[in-house]
Structure 1
Amino acid sequence: MKFIINRDQILAPLQQIVSVIEKRQTMLILSNVLLQIADNQLVITGSDTEIQIVCKLNLETEAESGDITVPARKFLDICRLLPTGAEIKFELHDDKVKLSSGRSRFSLSTLPAEHYPEFNESEFDYQFLLNAGKLKKGLDKTIFCMANQDVRYYLNGLMLQISNTRLKLVASDGHRLSIFEDDIGQSTGYEARIILPRKAVQELSRLLDDADAELNIQFSSNHIKIYYKDVVFSSKLIDAKFPDFGKVFNQAFMTPILIQKQLLRDALTRVAILTNEKFKGVTLDIANDLVKLSTHNPEHDEAEEELVIDFQGQPLSISFNSQYMLDAVTNLDSELAVITLASNASTCFIEEPEQPLFKFIVMPMRI
């Protein structure tokens, strides 16, 4: 096995692949990347058995076919620290890989390619095409609401729902929920729901760096595969049912409150300095075209700030986690934030004024 490749051609794909590989592995070979040469093409594979990324690179010079696995992070660090534009010569001698570039020489230990675990996938029942920028935006608008190591394991991920021509992404940690909904751009002719695991969502968001690219998405009840340029991203799915959040819309609401997004964001950021570090609670007292944000903590520090709003309803006082509010407001693209409270003060909606693609729901808290 022998090939020559430019450092700049291999670096970005290698970084994407290595990010999937866990630093501590139960199987030593999973710390390696699988390199395969065939038909003058280099195929690089990385996996943690739950997620797999495969990248195909065309080689400009004649290569000698073969396959081997090399330590992922060491290989990446060598490529990363070589000069921009450097040519890397890769040669396999027995159980060692020799890397040379300019006056640099490296020798890496290897493990046989036949020992690299196969990523078993089922037959894919569904398929659709989607703009990468659309999915990337949807992931970014919902990713921060996913739970982390919650016993309700279906919350440790993101729900993807297809309803013929509509795409919906939903994430929740039980205290807040974000919904992104957009048009797919074609008729799929089916309805389906799947839950992507937390790590898969994070890696996918990191991978999608070209908003104009087209994705070919295939999935079944337990696997998803996404073709993106020269990369194939695969992941197992969470086998569970996502909670029905639809009933949160079927209730009476108070008059919506319109407020300048930047003013609210700045005020929340300042007031949050003195919140209780554990609960981060901030109280909103709304009355007479004013909203007063206030907080205190166990050290008896206090903060309050007033903002002018357009509000005609009954006065009310309600408390929220300041970080949840900040996450929602920061993700709005419009200059105005629309805050709508349920009549029984059990739920708060935060969204944009016109045709919002993104809705954020946060539950109030007791202080």
Structure 2
Amino acid sequence: MKFNINREAILVPLQQIVSVIEKRQTMPILANVLMVIENNQLILTGTDLEIQIIAKINITAATPGTITVPARKFLDICRLLPAGTEIKLEQQGDKVKILANRCRFSLSSLPAGNYPEFAESELEKKFSINAGKFKKALDKTLFCMANQDVRYYLNGLLLNISNSKLKLVASDGHRLSIYEDTLDQSTGYEARIILPRKGVLELSRLLDDPEAELKVEFSSNNIRIFIGHLVFSAKLVDSKYPDFGKVFQQELGNPLHIQKQLLKDALTRVAILSNEKFKGVTFDINADSLKISTHNPEHDEAEEELFIEYTGEPLSIAFNAQYLLDAVSNLDSELAVLTIANNASSCFIDEPNDCAYKFIVMPMRL
């Protein structure tokens, strides 16, 4: 294997791939990036066996071959070279020689034949979607995913396709986010799959071109997404997502309208003195005012009063301040609408106009 490449041509694809490679590996070769040269293309592959990213770069005057090199070391070498540098890479036995300007590097390599294959079943379902639209859907929901919950189906994101309708749902059991949109073309099928947490975070990071068109293929076990020169693959969470529809079937109280920025600022200030572990704040809601208050084990107290539009019965309810902040920050309008269920089991947060997404936060007992 032998090729020349400009630093800029390899740096971004290498950065995109290295992020899926875990620092601690069960197999040493998983810390490496697989490099294959065929048909005047350099194909880079990185995986942790749950997620895989493949990048394809067009090159000329290259000698075909395959090898694996330590991913982070190779990235650091490329990253720290001056902009515009021409990199020459050549395989010599079990070493890879890298020449750039007056720099010389020699990296230990491992044979490509030992690189594990990413097992994928046949991906029979397909749809296309604009990258900007899909990234917005991911970003409006992913913050609600659980992290290392024993209910492992919550450590991911539900993707629901119903003909031309797209729905994304995430929940950690204390809050829920739902985003709904329509696809440009009908798919002709119904499907529910759960994308793994790490895959969702990686995918959101990779969707940096809002104009790109994504081609999505999936089965009940795997998903593959074509993003420009990249191919993203992930194993899906093998479980059934809980039925969240019942939360919408309860009777709701009168909505409370409040300026989004005022609520965010007040919550941020009051939460300074909340219990560090639970972040609890109390809402005392009256006809024209909302009092937000908190206290902590050190007997510190904070309180702030806001003017609101509300016509319902007075009530007092407590929430995790961070959960409310996350939800309110993801609204696009200047006005936030909070609607509390009559049995005080949940609070719906959305916009005054019919919007594509809803957030639901469960109250706390303080």
Give TM-score scaled by structure 1 length.
Answer: 0.99
1:164 and 1:338 mapped to 2: Cα distance? Answer: 30
Q: Deviations over 1:180-207 (max 9, x none)?
A: 1111111111110000111000111111
Tell me which residue corresponds to 1:35. Answer: 35
Tell me which residue corresponds to 2:48. Answer: 48
**1:204-215 matched pairs, under 5 angstroms:** 204-215=203-214
1:355 and 1:108 mapped to 2: Cα distance? Answer: 57
| Higher alpha-carbon deviation: 49-58 or 348-357 | 348-357
Q: Deviations over 1:228-265 (max 9, x none)?
A: 10000000000100000001111110111110000000
Tell me which residue corresponds to 1:254. Answer: 253
For residue 20 of structure 2, give the secondary structure of its aligned residue in structure 1. Answer: coil
1:14 aligns with 2:43: no
1:32 and 1:247 mapped to 2: Cα distance? Answer: 47
For residue 140 of structure 2, give the secondary structure of its aligned residue in structure 1. Answer: helix
Cα shift at 1:317? 0.3
Q: Deviations over 1:166-193 (max 9, x none)?
A: 1111000000001111111111111100
Aligned length: 366
1:278 and 1:300 mapped to 2: Cα distance? Answer: 15
Cα shift at 1:142? 0.8
Tell me which residue corresponds to 1:164. Answer: 163
Equivalent residue letter for 2:275: N
Return structure 1 stretches of 4+ with deviation > 2 angstroms: none
1:302 and 1:49 mapped to 2: Cα distance? Answer: 49
1:357 and 1:90 mapped to 2: Cα distance? Answer: 49
Cα shift at 1:352? 1.1
1:269 and 1:80 mapped to 2: Cα distance? Answer: 38
For residue 354 of structure 1, give the secondary structure of its aligned residue in structure 2. Answer: coil
Show structure 2 runs of 5+ residues with no match: none
Tell me which residue corresponds to 1:354. Answer: 353
**1:126-145 matched pairs, under 5 angstroms:** 126-145=125-144
Give TM-score scaled by structure 2 length.
Answer: 0.99
Tell me which residue corresponds to 1:77. Answer: 76
Q: Name the Cα RMSD after superposition.
A: 0.6
Tell me which residue corresponds to 2:283. Answer: 284
Tell me which residue corresponds to 1:92. Answer: 91
Q: Deviations over 1:293-326 (max 9, x none)?
A: 0000000100000110011111000000000000
Percent of residue pairs bearing the same amino acid type: 71
Equivalent residue letter for 1:334: S
**1:151-230 matched pairs, under 5 angstroms:** 151-230=150-229
2:152 and 2:41 mapped to 1: Cα distance? Answer: 40
Show structure 1 runs of 5+ residues with no match: none
1:7 and 1:247 mapped to 2: Cα distance? Answer: 54
Q: Deviations over 1:315-353 (max 9, x none)?
A: 000000000000000111110001011011111000111
Tell me which residue corresponds to 1:58. Answer: 58
2:258 and 2:185 mapped to 1: Cα distance? Answer: 36
Equivalent residue letter for 1:9: A
Cα shift at 1:288? 2.3
Cα shift at 1:358? 1.4
For residue 8 of structure 2, give the secondary structure of its aligned residue in structure 1. Answer: helix
2:354 and 2:74 mapped to 1: Cα distance? Answer: 48
2:35 and 2:353 mapped to 1: Cα distance? Answer: 50
